[in-house]
Structure formats: structure tokens, C-alpha cells
């Protein structure tokens, strides 16, 4: 494979813009007038400022920057809110934009009629007061939301695309049930994190079929909530290795001396770990090995590739480093989490959702998120069981990755129905 150099941002934008036929990089460029606006129903757990409901649904209502400027070719037709809080924003936004709030998911999907008039559904089961189980999983009502959405599809004999924010489940049995039901009912289904679509610092554009010899990820904060983001970032790069994805053979959680022994004994490359660590900002000084709350998700893929995701509390961002065949030094990138304007990485996630709703086809495989959901659930199960290595035949999930771009591409003003040029 040709050497993968770390491009300048200008070089990369120019090359990818040419490949994708992009005509504008301006977030606030006027949308193409010939594009028909599609309608969606939103099903959310809570809707407070800066929640996932705000930074996704709010962009449909108020534009990509949530400043009243241009936005996606989507219209919010209805809203269901599971919990109204003291900081609730949904009633204010609904009144401002004349959007009805319904007291059931069925009514939201049907917009209070006897049919399904919307073109898609966005389901956001994130944030709110919900129980936490012994594994530390926040039991958001994602399966319940999806069941009621798809029950409505069955009742009214119409299926439309559905996006599930973050990981389905989060318990593996629920994630698998949701995936199987989508397959059975032929629901165009997407899920996942915003971070695979965010800006990368430095820019790293990895070709499909790359010869990856080793990979290390670094995540931070809560194992369930942010461990999922970190696994999605890791998977969106390692899925591009030669042979594509065939699933995961086993998963293990390690902490204390056991997690650092994988570096000392050479199971995981110290050089690749160091490259990943250098890509993220530190919030705690001193030796990273003194981090008392650090943990490791260790896993082996069915093709023999070993993955390692270090969850550290001494950093506050996510990174992935890769050792590529033929290159002496690892390459690494940080997955940025910008807050202004209005958490822009969610605009690029919404662009992929917009595309699915307009085309009727997922922008990238939901199987990636099914796999990361299973890996996370099994890692947390291993932790509960004292670090036991768990064989995972249920994670023999095969899929072919697609070359969907990350920020600042695709152009947010581009026609969502137009195929990505190659």
C-alpha cells in the first residue's frame, strides 16, 4: 500500500471535494431549491438545551448552526417527549414552529391521523431519569421507542426509515432484538454516534482495504456513555482494513496492573498506544499508569486482529492510532468535540440521517453499531465478572463498510438525494 501521509487540511479538502463532486464548503449555503422537503416525527426521552434532542431536532427547526439559517431538507411534523423536565425546551420550540406534541409514540408517528404521513422517524433515547443496571448501563428506553414505532408501522401498513441515536439496546438482547425486527420488517435502519462523522485532528482519511497491523483507541469518562463513542471511533477506522469486517471472537475488560501488562508483554504495541495518547489533551498530570480509574476494553476479531481501547480519566477526548504496513511510525487522530456553533459534529450526523430519509437507504451499515453495541455490553459484562474473557460467537457480525465522508464533508448544502460521486 502507498504510504498514507498526514495531509494538510487544505490538501485533504481539495482532494475529497473533487472525489465527491462537492461544489461548496459553506455550511450556510442556500439549500438546493429543487429538493423536496421530507417530513419526520421525532421521539425523544427529554428535550433540554444541549441535549441530543436539542442538537439534532433543533437543527431541523433552526438550521445547521441553530441560528435561523439554512438547514436540512427536513421538516419536523410531530414530537413525542417521554419526560418533561424543569428545563424542558420542547414546548417552547413546538409553539414557536407550530409542531404538535403528542402523548403517545403512535400518535406522533401518525401525526394524529389514521395513516403514516411522515417520511422518517428520529428516535433519541438519550438523557433523562432512567435506571442504571449492575453493569453500569443507563437503561434508556430505546427498545421501547423502537417497538412502539415499528408496532405503528405494522398497524398502519407502512414502513419508513428510522434513525436510533447512539447504540441500540443498550443491553445486548435489546440491541439484537431491534436489529432483527428492522431486518424482518425491512425498515431502513441507522444508529450510532456522531463522532465517526466529526472533524479529525490532524486530518486522517484512511482508504478502504488498508493494511492495518495494529490499532489502539483512547476514550474517557463513563464506560457506558463514552465507551460507546470511543468504540464507534475505533471501529470506523479498523473496519477499513483489508478483508472488511467479520466480527469479534472474544472481549475482555481489564484494569489495574493487568491492563498495563498488555503493553509490557507486547500484546498491544506501546508505540501505537503512545501515539494515541499524544493525540488527546490531558486533564491530569503525571504518569498515565497512575490513573486509578483507568480501564481497558480488549478484544480479538475473528480475523485475528487485536483491538485495544483504553478508557482513561486523565484525558478528555477520544483518539485512535494505527500502525500501517510499510510505515515506520503510527498515525493518530483525535475525534473533535466542538461546541460552537451548536455542536457542529451533530450537523454532520444529521446530514447522514437526512440522506437516508431522502433515499430510503442507510448512509452506512447499521451492523457497525450493532457490533460496537455488543462489544460494549460484553466488556461491561466482563468487568462485572471480574475481568473474565468472554467468547462472543454472537458477535460474528459481517458487513462491508462504505466510504461515507466525515466533517467537513459532505457539504451540508448538497442535495441529499444525489448519489455520492466516485
- The CATH number linked to 115 is 3.40.50.720
Residue 213 shares a structural domain with residue 188: no
Query: Domain check: are 160 and 207 in the same one?
Result: no
For the segment 270-294, what is each residue's pLDDT rounded down to a tens digit? 999 999 999 999 998 899 999 999 9
Supply the pLDDT for residue 31.
44
Same domain, 233 and 177: no
What is the per-residue pLDDT for 168?
Answer: 97
Measured CA to CA, the distance from residue 274 to residue 323 in angstroms comes to 12
For 106, the grid coordinates are 403512535
- φ, ψ of residue 74 to 5 degrees: the values are -135, 150
Number of domains within the chain = 2
pLDDT at 42: 98
- Domain shared by 49 and 180, yes or no: yes
Mean pLDDT, rounded, for 259-277: 98
User: What is the layout of strands, in order, in the sheet containing 120-124?
Assistant: 101-102, 74-81, 38-44, 120-124, 162-165, 189-192
Quote the DSSP letter at residue 27: T
Residue finishing a domain among 144, 175, 192: 192
Alpha carbon distance 146, 140 (integer Å): 12
Q: Are residues 67 and 212 in the same domain?
A: no
Question: Do both 52 and 183 map to the same domain?
Answer: yes
Q: Say what the pLDDT of residue 244 is.
A: 87
Query: Do 157 and 97 belong together in one domain?
Result: yes
pLDDT, the chain, mean: 92
- Work out the percent of the chain whose per-residue pLDDT is above 90: 89
Q: What average pLDDT score do residues 141-155 get?
A: 98
The answer on pLDDT for 2 being more than 50 is no
Q: Is residue 381 part of a domain?
A: no
396 inside domain: no
Helix (H) / strand (E) element for 200: namely strand 200-201
Is residue 159 a contact partner of residue 182, using CB atoms and an 8 Å limit?
no
* Residue 260's CATH number: 3.30.360
- pLDDT confidence of residue 35: 86
Predicted confidence (pLDDT) per residue in 16-48, tens digit:
343 333 333 333 434 444 689 999 999 999 999
DSSP state of 224: T
**Domain ranges, residue 286:** 197-335
What is the predicted pLDDT for the residue at 419?
75
Do residue 141 and residue 48 come from a single domain? yes
Q: What is the pTM of this model?
A: 0.91
**365 within some domain:** no
Element (H, E) at 152: helix 142-156
Tell whether 232 and 95 lie within a shared domain: no
pLDDT at res. 34? 67
State pLDDT tens for residues 91-138.
999 999 999 999 999 999 999 999 999 999 999 999 999 999 999 999
Same domain assignment for residues 217 and 154: no
211 and 94 in a single domain? The answer is no
Per-residue pLDDT, averaged over 138-152, amounts to 98
Tell me the CB-side half-sphere exposure of residue 401, using CA atoms within 13 A.
26
203-228 pLDDT, tens digit per residue, is 999 999 999 999 999 999 999 999 99
Evaluate whether residue 146 is within a structural domain: yes
What pLDDT score does 24 carry?
Answer: 33
Q: pLDDT exceeding 70 applies to what percent of the chain?
A: 91
pLDDT of residue 7: 41
Amino acid at each position: 500500500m502507498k504510504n498514507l501521509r498526514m495531509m494538510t487540511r487544505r490538501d485533504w479538502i481539495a482532494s475529497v471535494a473533487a472525489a465527491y463532486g462537492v461544489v461548496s464548503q459553506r455550511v450556510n449555503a442556500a439549500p438546493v431549491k429543487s429538493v423536496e422537503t421530507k417530513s419526520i416525527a421525532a421521539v425523544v426521552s427529554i428535550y433540554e438545551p444541549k441535549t441530543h434532542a436539542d442538537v439534532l431536532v433543533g437543527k431541523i427547526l433552526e438550521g445547521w448552526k441553530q441560528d435561523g439559517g439554512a438547514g436540512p431538507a427536513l421538516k419536523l411534523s410531530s414530537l413525542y417527549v417521554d419526560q418533561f423536565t424543569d428545563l424542558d425546551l420542547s414546548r417552547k420550540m413546538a409553539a414557536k414552529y407550530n409542531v404538535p406534541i403528542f402523548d403517545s409514540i403512535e400518535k406522533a408517528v401518525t401525526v394524529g391521523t389514521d395513516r403514516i404521513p411522515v417520511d422518517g422517524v428520529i428516535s433519541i433515547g438519550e438523557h433523562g431519569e432512567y435506571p442504571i443496571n449492575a453493569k453500569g448501563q443507563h437503561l434508556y428506553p430505546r427498545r421501547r421507542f423502537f417497538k412502539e414505532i415499528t408496532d405503528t408501522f405494522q398497524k398502519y401498513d407502512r414502513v419508513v426509515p428510522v434513525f436510533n441515536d447512539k447504540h441500540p439496546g443498550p443491553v445486548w438482547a435489546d440491541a439484537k432484538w431491534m436489529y432483527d425486527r428492522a431486518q424482518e420488517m425491512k425498515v431502513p435502519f441507522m444508529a450510532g454516534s456522531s463522532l465517526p462523522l466529526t472533524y479529525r485532528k490532524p486530518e486522517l482519511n484512511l482508504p478502504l482495504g488498508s493494511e492495518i497491523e495494529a490499532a489502539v483507541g483512547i476514550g474517557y469518562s463513563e464506560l457506558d456513555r463514552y465507551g460507546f463513542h470511543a468504540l464507534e471511533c475505533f471501529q470506523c477506522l479498523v473496519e477499513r482494513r483489508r478483508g472488511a469486517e467479520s466480527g469479534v471472537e472474544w472481549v475482555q475488560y481489564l484494569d489495574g496492573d493487568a491492563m498495563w501488562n498488555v503493553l509490557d508483554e507486547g500484546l498491544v504495541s506501546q508505540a501505537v498506544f503512545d501515539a494515541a495518547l499524544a493525540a488527546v489533551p490531558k486533564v491530569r498530570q503525571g504518569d498515565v499508569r497512575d490513573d486509578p480509574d483507568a480501564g481497558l476494553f480488549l478484544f480479538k476479531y475473528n480475523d485475528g486482529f487485536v483491538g485495544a481501547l483504553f478508557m482513561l480519566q486523565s484525558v478528555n477526548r477520544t483518539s485512535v492510532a494505527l500502525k500501517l504496513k510499510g510505515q515506520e511510525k503510527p498515525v493518530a487522530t483525535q475525534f473533535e468535540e466542538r461546541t460552537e456553533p451548536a455542536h457542529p459534529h451533530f450537523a454532520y450526523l444529521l446530514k447522514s440521517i437526512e440522506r437516508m430519509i431522502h433515499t430510503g437507504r442507510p448512509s452506512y451499515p447499521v451492523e457497525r453499531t450493532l457490533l460496537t453495541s455488543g462489544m460494549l455490553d460484553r466488556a461491561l459484562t466482563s468487568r462485572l465478572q471480574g475481568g473474565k474473557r468472554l467468547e462472543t460467537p454472537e458477535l460474528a457480525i459481517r458487513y462491508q463498510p462504505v466510504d461515507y465522508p466525515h466533517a467537513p464533508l459532505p457539504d451540508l448544502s448538497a442535495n441529499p438525494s444525489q448519489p455520492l460521486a466516485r
